[in-house]
């Protein structure tokens, strides 16, 4: 949102809403965060649904979704969203490492260096080169 | 409220469930909530102090965020769906920030002085204020219907006397300031301090005469020469067709007015100027502090045009001829000089005894040059013309005699009015040398690839070169007994070595030059801010005391300046205010007892109000100051917690890239003056700038090249397009009334509702990219909202039908995949991805 790329947020919200449509009934713990996440984009329908969901009549929130907290992700569910990256040692795939899909370079490096095959190949030394392409692969030159 | 809305929604067709999300229901919901927000002041944002303070709210709302759109001109035509793209973007952003613990300042004003309302007044006799206020009311209605979360208490118009009172006050601040360029100050100071320095002798007068020995008139001249707003008899852009002068920035590249497309002529006239040039270095250097698109920063850098070079003196019979060059390293290649036809040395150099007929030749050349306009003179593709004066100067670096020419592409107003020509390294000089068969000594050896591309063997015989070589390459033939460039390969080194030699040899000096000129600040029109200035019997300007502001525009029924034949270059401006004798002559006591003064008949340019409007958003009701210190500091003060060198300013400023050098440069200049004088705590007005894209659309033309209504066109890309059975051609570009492809937001509110329109506009790509408008695609977003509604509401009863059983793991994962991460300092997902991308 800070980068003003609202189109990607919309695409994901449509995907979520489509998934919800397939369910027999809409669970409240999905409906409420979905409505709050849509509120900046489509504030009127969001206000209306929020009210229908039983909120917004109290004085503490001013009767509006405007100042309701934007949903916060549950990190335990985020971690599950992992990818497996191949680890090349001297150009050949020797192992794989699982990291969070959005892991940064440093995290991937640390994970790769903790891999048993890499530890074995390094035999206590430092790698000559460690190349990380996030989302793609790790290349260790020993 | 919501229940009433839905009850009123009973008249739909039998097939449609009573509580389906239809366009009619959407409209009821939207208007209902817009009324609710207005009645409850939902978007009212508290200030730390003053009329809008609410000490109970500032803290709980959290960290401040100041979000602003470039405010619109309230046009009478109304909005089309392309206009609000940026406004929707800032609204989504502001609403998101409110939901993540921020105190958000977000409102919308109107930049309402300007020509269209005045021209309408000229045609109809209706006062521009009436037209303007009606247009503002219509635009406010259209924007309110979009559901924008503005704090309307802060909405201002630059035409409100309570607003322009402060525009005039800031003008007075600029008028009563001077630029102290001493290294320990390097900023604006009040004129009163300059006078004290002259009186005490701390500062010498320009010619050294003690201050006490000068007459009042002489002192005034010296003071006025220092003011940051000053009256100058200077070459200006006179536009007879508009009846007014215009700024350089308002002249198009083909030398016409950007408004009205009339010819513009260079003329000497008495006009108000702003000394923006004193800020040239800071305006360039402080770009480093800004989170702005690089393209806009570069446009400002190029507009200011700072270049390091040298002034070099060529000895001649008329005395040393000074030239400014950005490439002193090429001095060995200077094989002739070109002077402006008006250069003061020309008559002395051209000796009819040596060159018979030269006086007549030069006179004839001057006559034909005067008929040309500046843009023609600067057009490099034009056939080169010139006259050899018969005289020679001496190239200081090698003692060679170089012929002195005159040519009209050298302008007296730029640099010294003379240039050294280095034909081997400059395209224009190369063409000139070829045409007049002048020598072209090679001083650089171009790389082999340069010759290969031109199908040549490597050679330093420039007679074989098809064009000049422009770029870095090893120097050749560039050595004398005190100086060696041969062996060097880049111009930065070359310039440094040459500049050092020039200064040692006493034939030149290193310089910095700028393209930026002082800002022409007066217009001979009616619908603008009057100047807070009066003239005494001797014609000296005095600023009107703050207590007498605003100087309101006088009533009249003649709003037009006198306009002239667009080609009548020698006509003179006559402003509408000039004719109002009762207003022009005024009795005031400015400290010397009651005296008669004459007002200034000019008005300010349309850029004045937009130079500072953000400060009035902050404190719209303050009648003691343009903005309370505490409030400015809270909303715009430097965020040293973000970055030690944070300049302060608005946190997010969204607008079109077309304002890159006009509004954005002027506003930065005024802000810096206000900063220097201690009126604001921020060094820059706009910390982060974001250029939104545009909504583009197809337009259709018939065989007569006339636009037809795009909505009535049938066809497709394979079979072609028709209008009423006639073939038409399709083009892609802007949306607009004149292109007959404008779609009004009102049509979309009626067909789908504002939420659908907002979503459609935001889904077309990142906010900074342009996107096509396709009315038939809007329904996709409408269907999404209908599904959303159905997932929460029973369409037959209108009751909420969600269940309290927990969601399954898969759905929760889908939910959490893109939700905002915790507020515990972890970066948002998207941001971390971006960092990872950059790290690759």
Residues of A in contact with B813 (CB under 8 A): 77, 80-81
| A1, A28, A64 member nearest B802 (Cβ) | A28
For residues B6 and B198, the model is more confident at: B198
Reported as a pLDDT band with limits 50, 70 and 90, residue B840 is: very low
Residues of A in contact with B149 (CB under 8 A): 43, 66
Say if A131 is an interface residue toward chain B (CB within 8 Å). no
**Contact A7/B764, CB-based, under 8 Å?**
yes
**Contact A16/B42, CB-based, under 8 Å?**
no
State residue A122's pLDDT score: 85
Distance from the A88 Cα atom to the nearest Cα atom in chain B, whole angstroms? 17
Closest CA to A6 of B769, B817, B80: B769
Burial of A32 from C-beta contacts in 10 A (0-12 / 13-18 / 19+): buried
Say if A120 is an interface residue toward chain B (CB within 8 Å). no
Say if A69 is an interface residue toward chain B (CB within 8 Å). yes
Burial of B722 from C-beta contacts in 10 A (0-12 / 13-18 / 19+): middle
State residue A80's pLDDT score: 46
CA–CA distance, B798 with B783 (Å, rounded to integer): 18
CA–CA distance, A127 with B356 (Å, rounded to integer): 84
3-state secondary structure of B793: strand
For residues B124 and A38, the model is more confident at: A38
Distance from the A123 Cα atom to the nearest Cα atom in chain B, whole angstroms? 27
CA–CA distance, A77 with B809 (Å, rounded to integer): 9
Q: What is the DSSP letter of B438?
A: -
Task: Locate B328 and state its tokens.
Answer: 């002193």
| B26, B40, B811 member nearest A30 (Cβ) | B811
**Contact A42/B789, CB-based, under 8 Å?**
no
**Contact A4/B829, CB-based, under 8 Å?**
no
Sequence ranges of the domains in chain A: 6-72, 78-141
Where is average pLDDT lowest: A94-108, B412-426, B435-449?
A94-108
**Contact B803/A25, CB-based, under 8 Å?**
yes
Task: Locate A106 and state its tokens.
Answer: 């440093």
Q: Indicate if the pLDDT at residue A76 is higher than 60.
A: no
Query: Taking a C-beta distance cutoff of 8 angstroms, is the pair B773, B82 a contact?
Result: yes
Q: What is the CATH number of domain B307-513?
A: 3.90.740.10
The mean pLDDT value of chain B amounts to 89
In this prediction, residues B464-487 reach a mean pLDDT of 91
Q: Which residue of B has its CA nearest to A4?
A: B767
CB pairs under 8 A between A and B: 226
Please write the tens of the pLDDT for every residue from A79-119: 445 677 888 888 888 888 877 777 788 888 888 888 888 88
Where is average pLDDT lowest: B188-197, B371-380, B528-537, B572-581?
B371-380
**Contact A6/B754, CB-based, under 8 Å?**
no
Query: Taking a C-beta distance cutoff of 8 angstroms, is the pair B822, A45 a contact?
Result: no
Residues of A in contact with B38 (CB under 8 A): none
**Contact B89/A104, CB-based, under 8 Å?**
no
Give the contacts of B303 (CB within 8 A, at least 6 positions apart).
B515, B516, B661, B665
State residue B60's pLDDT score: 66
State residue A85's pLDDT score: 83
Could you tell me what percent of chain B has a pLDDT over 70?
Answer: 94
**Contact B763/A15, CB-based, under 8 Å?**
no
**Contact B820/A1, CB-based, under 8 Å?**
yes
| B764, B821, B831 member nearest A2 (Cβ) | B831
State residue A78's pLDDT score: 46
Q: Indicate if the pLDDT at residue B368 is higher than 90.
A: no
In this prediction, residues B223-231 reach a mean pLDDT of 96
Query: Taking a C-beta distance cutoff of 8 angstroms, is the pair B293, B499 a contact?
Result: no
State residue B829's pLDDT score: 32
Say if A16 is an interface residue toward chain B (CB within 8 Å). yes
Give the contacts of B697 (CB within 8 A, at least 6 positions apart).
B82, B710, B732, B733, B734, B735, B739, B741, B743, B772, B773
State residue B12's pLDDT score: 46
| A10, A30, A105 member nearest B763 (Cβ) | A10
| A15, A18, A28 member nearest B803 (Cβ) | A28
Task: Locate B111 and state its tokens.
Answer: 């930049």
**Contact B784/A14, CB-based, under 8 Å?**
yes
**Contact B812/A77, CB-based, under 8 Å?**
yes
In this prediction, residues B74-82 reach a mean pLDDT of 86
State residue B378's pLDDT score: 57
Closest CA to B234 of B520, B515, B525: B520
Structurally, at CATH architecture level, domain B2-159+613-689 sits in 3-Layer(aba) Sandwich (3.40)
State residue B513's pLDDT score: 81
CA–CA distance, B366 with B360 (Å, rounded to integer): 10
Reported as a pLDDT band with limits 50, 70 and 90, residue B722 is: very high
In this prediction, residues B158-170 reach a mean pLDDT of 97
State residue B571's pLDDT score: 86
**Contact A52/B765, CB-based, under 8 Å?**
no
- As annotated, the residues of chain B forming the CATH 3.90.740.10 domain(s) are 307-513
In this prediction, residues B256-269 reach a mean pLDDT of 86
Q: Which residue of B has its CA nearest to A81?
A: B817
CA–CA distance, B573 with B243 (Å, rounded to integer): 6
Residue B562 dihedral angles phi and psi, to the nearest 5° = -70, 130
Residue B311 dihedral angles phi and psi, to the nearest 5° = -100, 130
**Contact B787/A21, CB-based, under 8 Å?**
yes
Reported as a pLDDT band with limits 50, 70 and 90, residue B826 is: very low
Instruction: Tell me, rounded to whole angstroms, the distance of Cα B157 from its chain centroid.
Output: 20
- As annotated, the residues of chain B forming the CATH 3.40.50.620 domain(s) are 2-159+613-689
**Contact A4/B89, CB-based, under 8 Å?**
yes
Please write the tens of the pLDDT for every residue from B732-781: 888 887 888 889 899 999 999 999 999 999 998 889 888 889 888 999 99
Strands B479-480 and B483-484: antiparallel
Closest CA to B591 of B627, B559, B548: B548
Residues of A in contact with B89 (CB under 8 A): 4, 6
Residues of B in contact with A23 (CB under 8 A): 811
Give the contacts of B162 (CB within 8 A, at least 6 positions apart).
B550, B623
Reported as a pLDDT band with limits 50, 70 and 90, residue B8 is: very low
CA atoms within 13 A on the CB side of B122: 16
| A6, A31, A44 member nearest B92 (Cβ) | A6
| B764, B807, B818 member nearest A29 (Cβ) | B807
In this prediction, residues B626-646 reach a mean pLDDT of 94
Please write the tens of the pLDDT for every residue from B97-110: 999 989 999 999 99
Could you tell me what percent of chain B has a pLDDT over 90?
Answer: 65
CA–CA distance, B620 with B622 (Å, rounded to integer): 6
Q: Indicate if the pLDDT at residue B822 is higher than 80.
A: no
CA–CA distance, B304 with B288 (Å, rounded to integer): 15
**Contact A19/B832, CB-based, under 8 Å?**
no
Task: Locate B654 and state its tokens.
Answer: 């969204």
Residue B646 dihedral angles phi and psi, to the nearest 5° = -60, 130
CA–CA distance, B259 with A63 (Å, rounded to integer): 48
CA quadruple B565, B569, B570, B576: dihedral positive or negative?
positive
Residue A95 dihedral angles phi and psi, to the nearest 5° = -160, 175
How many residues would you count in chain A?
142
Structurally, at CATH architecture level, domain A78-141 sits in Roll (3.10)
Q: Which residues pair with B263 in a beta bridge?
A: B256
Chain B interface, best mutation among A48, A61, A64, by max B CB count within 10 A: A48
Query: Taking a C-beta distance cutoff of 8 angstroms, is the pair B462, B429 a contact?
Result: no
Cβ count within 10 A of residue B468: 21
């Amino acid at each position: 949102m800070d980068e003003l790329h609202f189109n990607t947020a919309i695409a994901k919200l449509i995907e979520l809403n489509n998934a919800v449509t397939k369910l027999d009934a809409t669970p409240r713990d999905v409906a409420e965060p979905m409505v709050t996440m849509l509120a900046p984009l489509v504030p009127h329908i969001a206000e209306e649904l929020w009210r229908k969901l039983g909120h917004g009549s109290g004085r503490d929130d001013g009767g509006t979704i405007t100042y309701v907290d934007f949903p916060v992700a549950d990190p335990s569910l985020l971690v599950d969203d992992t990818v497996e990256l191949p680890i090349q040692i001297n150009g050949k795939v020797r192992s794989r490492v699982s990291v969070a899909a959005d892991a940064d370079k440093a995290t991937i490096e640390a994970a790769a260096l903790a891999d048993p095959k890499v530890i074995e190949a390094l035999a206590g030394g430092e790698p000559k080169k460690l190349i990380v392409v996030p989302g793609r692969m790790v290349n260790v030159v020993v | 409220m919501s229940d009433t809305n839905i009850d009123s929604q009973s008249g739909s067709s039998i097939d449609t469930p009573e509580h389906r999300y239809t366009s009619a229901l959407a409209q009821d919901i939207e208007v209902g909530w817009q009324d609710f927000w207005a009645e409850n002041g939902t978007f009212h944002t508290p200030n730390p102090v003053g009329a809008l303070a609410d000490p109970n709210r500032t803290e709980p709302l959290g960290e401040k965020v100041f979000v602003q759109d470039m405010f619109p001109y309230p046009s009478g035509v109304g909005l089309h769906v392309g206009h609000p793209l940026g406004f929707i973007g800032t609204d989504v952003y502001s609403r998101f920030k409110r939901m993540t613990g921020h105190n958000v300042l977000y409102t919308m004003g109107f930049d309402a002085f300007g020509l269209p309302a005045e021209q309408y007044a000229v045609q109809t006799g209706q006062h521009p204020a009436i037209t303007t206020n009606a247009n503002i009311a219509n635009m406010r209605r259209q924007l309110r219907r979009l559901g924008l979360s503005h704090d309307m208490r802060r909405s201002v118009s630059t035409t409100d006397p309570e607003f322009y009172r402060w525009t005039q006050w800031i003008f007075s601040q600029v008028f009563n300031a001077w630029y102290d360029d001493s290294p320990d100050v390097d900023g604006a100071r009040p004129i009163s301090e300059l006078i004290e320095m002259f009186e005490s002798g701390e500062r010498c007068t320009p010619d050294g005469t003690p201050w006490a020995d000068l007459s009042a008139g002489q002192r005034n001249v010296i003071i006025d020469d220092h003011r940051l707003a000053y009256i100058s008899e200077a070459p200006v852009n006179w536009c007879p067709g508009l009846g007014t002068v215009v700024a350089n920035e308002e002249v198009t590249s083909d030398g016409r007015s950007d408004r009205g497309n009339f010819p513009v002529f260079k003329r000497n006239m008495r006009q108000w100027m702003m000394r923006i040039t004193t800020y040239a270095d800071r305006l360039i250097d402080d770009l480093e502090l800004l989170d702005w698109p690089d393209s806009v920063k570069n446009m400002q850098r190029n507009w200011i045009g700072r270049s390091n070079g040298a002034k070099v003196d060529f000895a001649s019979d008329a005395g040393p001829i000074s030239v400014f060059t950005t490439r002193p390293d090429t001095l060995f290649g200077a094989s002739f000089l070109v002077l402006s036809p008006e250069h003061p040395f020309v008559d002395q150099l051209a000796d009819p005894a040596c060159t018979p007929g030269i006086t007549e030749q030069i006179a004839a050349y001057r006559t034909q040059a005067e008929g040309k306009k500046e843009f023609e003179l600067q057009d490099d593709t034009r056939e080169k013309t010139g006259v050899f004066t018969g005289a020679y100067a001496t190239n200081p670096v090698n003692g060679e005699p170089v012929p002195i020419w005159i040519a009209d592409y050298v302008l007296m107003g730029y640099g010294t009015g003379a240039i050294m020509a280095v034909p081997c390294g400059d395209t224009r000089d190369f063409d000139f040398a070829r045409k007049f068969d002048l020598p072209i000594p090679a001083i650089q050896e171009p790389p082999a690839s340069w010759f290969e591309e031109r199908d040549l063997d490597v050679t330093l015989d420039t007679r074989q070169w098809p064009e000049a070589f422009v770029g870095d390459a090893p120097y050749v033939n560039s050595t004398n007994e005190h100086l060696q460039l041969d062996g060097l390969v880049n111009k930065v080194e070359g310039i440094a070595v040459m500049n050092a030699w020039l200064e040692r040899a006493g034939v030149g000096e290193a310089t910095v030059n700028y393209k930026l000129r002082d800002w022409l600040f007066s217009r001979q029109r009616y619908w603008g801010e009057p100047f807070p200035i009066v003239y005494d019997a001797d014609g000296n300007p005095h600023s009107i005391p703050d207590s007498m502001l605003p100087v309101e525009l006088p009533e009249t029924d003649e709003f037009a300046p006198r306009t002239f034949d667009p080609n009548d270059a020698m006509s003179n401006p006559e402003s509408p205010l000039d004719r109002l004798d009762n207003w022009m002559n005024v009795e005031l006591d400015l400290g010397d007892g009651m005296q008669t003064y004459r007002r200034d008949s000019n008005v300010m340019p349309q850029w004045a109000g937009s130079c500072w409007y953000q400060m009035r958003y902050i404190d719209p009701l303050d009648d003691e100051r343009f903005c309370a210190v505490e409030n400015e500091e809270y909303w715009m003060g430097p965020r040293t917690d973000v970055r030690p060198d944070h300049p302060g300013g608005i946190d997010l400023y969204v607008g079109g890239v077309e304002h890159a050098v006009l509004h954005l440069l002027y506003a930065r200049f005024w802000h810096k003056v206000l900063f220097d004088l201690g009126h604001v705590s921020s060094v820059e007005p706009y910390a982060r700038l974001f250029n939104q894209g545009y909504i583009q659309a197809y337009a259709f033309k018939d065989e007569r090249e006339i636009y037809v209504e795009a909505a009535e066109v049938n066809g497709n890309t394979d079979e072609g397009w028709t209008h009423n059975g006639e073939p038409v051609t399709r083009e892609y570009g802007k949306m607009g009334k004149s292109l007959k492809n404008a779609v009004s937001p009102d049509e979309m509110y009626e067909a789908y509702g504002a939420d659908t329109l907002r979503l459609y506009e935001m889904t077309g790509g990142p906010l900074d990219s342009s996107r096509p408008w396709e009315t038939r695609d809007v329904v996709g977003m409408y269907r999404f909202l209908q599904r959303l509604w159905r997932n929460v509401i029973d369409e037959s009863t209108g009751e909420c039908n969600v269940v309290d059983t927990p969601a399954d793991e898969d759905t929760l994962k889908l939910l959490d995949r893109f939700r905002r991460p915790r507020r515990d300092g972890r970066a948002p997902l998207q941001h971390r991805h971006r960092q990872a991308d950059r790290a690759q």
